[in-house]
Structure 1
Amino acid sequence: MILKGFKEKSIKKHINKLLSERYVNVSGKQVESLGIIFNLDELDNFEQFNTLASCLKVKPNKLKVIAFSSNKKETLKSWDVCFNPDDFGWKGAIKNSELQTFLDTKFDVLISYYEADITELKLLTAKSKAEFKVGLLQTDERINDLIVKTNLKEFNVFKDEVFKYLTILKKIKNE
């Protein structure tokens, strides 16, 4: 139990280091690839992310979705790409090669769709090499570049707001 607390503290320290080194560059580059991180314990509707990707004009082969669950085994059977706290080590180390591949992918936009204050989810968002990060309102506002303040259950509102602001930032051509 004590080691778990020390591990979480080391991960939080790593997150702070990553966020202090992050440089946000909002270029006019069009959105072609999209990464999505969500908490399977809060939400289990994968199809809504496909509608978001089609709204943003992202091709299905350029969309990558991963889920995180605090549960160890039960939920992993129902979802293909799901990670749990066992996939994370001390000081923010990633133990899973598939998860590391996701984090190393340079997405044009990363959507962090979760409300829970879970250190591992924050680490995934902070460690991602995505150029522009969008998410729901968090306790630490440094994690995302664009914050949409909405309820987790109001996905259509979130989708509309993301589309609106990405259009304003000239990341989506409004046709």
Structure 2
Amino acid sequence: MILKVFKEKSIKKRINKLLAERVVKSDNSAAKTLGVLINMDAFNDVAVFEKMAMEIKIQPNNFKIIGFSVNKKNELNAIGTCYYLEDFNRNGQVKNVELQSFLDYDFDILINYYAEDILELKLLSVLSKAKLKIGILQQDERINDLIIKTELKDFKVFKTELFKYLTILNKIN
């Protein structure tokens, strides 16, 4: 119990520090790379993101999607890359090499498709080196650069709004 509280405090402290140090990089170039971070416990339809990436004209080798699940027992590996609480140490450091390579990849756009306040998901979002972070309204509004207020189950609304804002920002044609 004490270790869990220590881990939560450590992760919160790290998130706050990373958010304070973040410098937003903006440019008017079209997006060529796309990353998606999903909470697999709440939404596991990854095919909609693959279809969306094709519509944005993102090449398959420039599109990566990862899932996160609190329950390892679910084994929700529909995407082949699903990570769990065990992939983080007590200081919030990522222990998984594949997950770390996703975070180090310099995406033009990162979509954070989750609404729950799960510290490890927030940490993954903050650790990502993406230039533009887009997500659903969450408790901590500092995580995303663009927030689309919708429900997880209303993916069509999210996609419509996303395309609208990406067009305005010259990220897609």
Where on the TM-score scale, by shorter chain, does this alignment land: which range?
over 0.9
Partner residue in 2 for 1:162? 162
State the distance in 1 between where 2:45 and 2:171 align: 26
User: Which residue in 2 is equivalent to 1:94?
Assistant: 94
Conservation of the 8 A alpha-carbon contact between 2:34 and 2:62:
yes
Q: Secondary structure at the match of 2:24?
A: coil
Extract unaligned runs of 5+ from structure 1: none
Distance in 2, matches of 1:90 and 1:131, equals: 28
So what's the TM-score if we normalise by structure 1?
A: 0.95
SS, match of residue 14 in structure 1: helix
The sequence identity of aligned pairs, in percent, is: 55
CA contact 1:15–1:92 (8 Å) conserved in 2: no
Q: How does 1:1-16 map to 2 (within 5 A)?
A: 1-16=1-16
2:115 corresponds to: 115
CA–CA distance in structure 2, aligned partners of residues 77 and 32 of structure 1: 26
Q: TM-score, normalised by structure 2?
A: 0.96
Q: Secondary structure at the match of 1:3?
A: helix
Shift of 1:37: 0.3
Alpha-carbon distance, 1:91 to partner: 2.7
Cα gap change, 1:67 to 1:77, in 2 (>3 Å): closer
**Post-superposition offset of 1:76:** 4.7
Moved over 6 A (4+): none
Is contact 1:67–1:81 with CA below 8 Å preserved after alignment? Answer: yes
State the one-letter code of the partner of 2:66: I
Partner of residue 22, structure 1: 22
Post-superposition offset of 1:25: 2.4
What is the number of residues matched between the two proteins?
173
Q: CA deviation at 1:92?
A: 2.2
What's the RMSD between the two structures over aligned residues? 1.2
Whole-Å separation in 2 of the counterparts to 1:78 and 1:38: 12
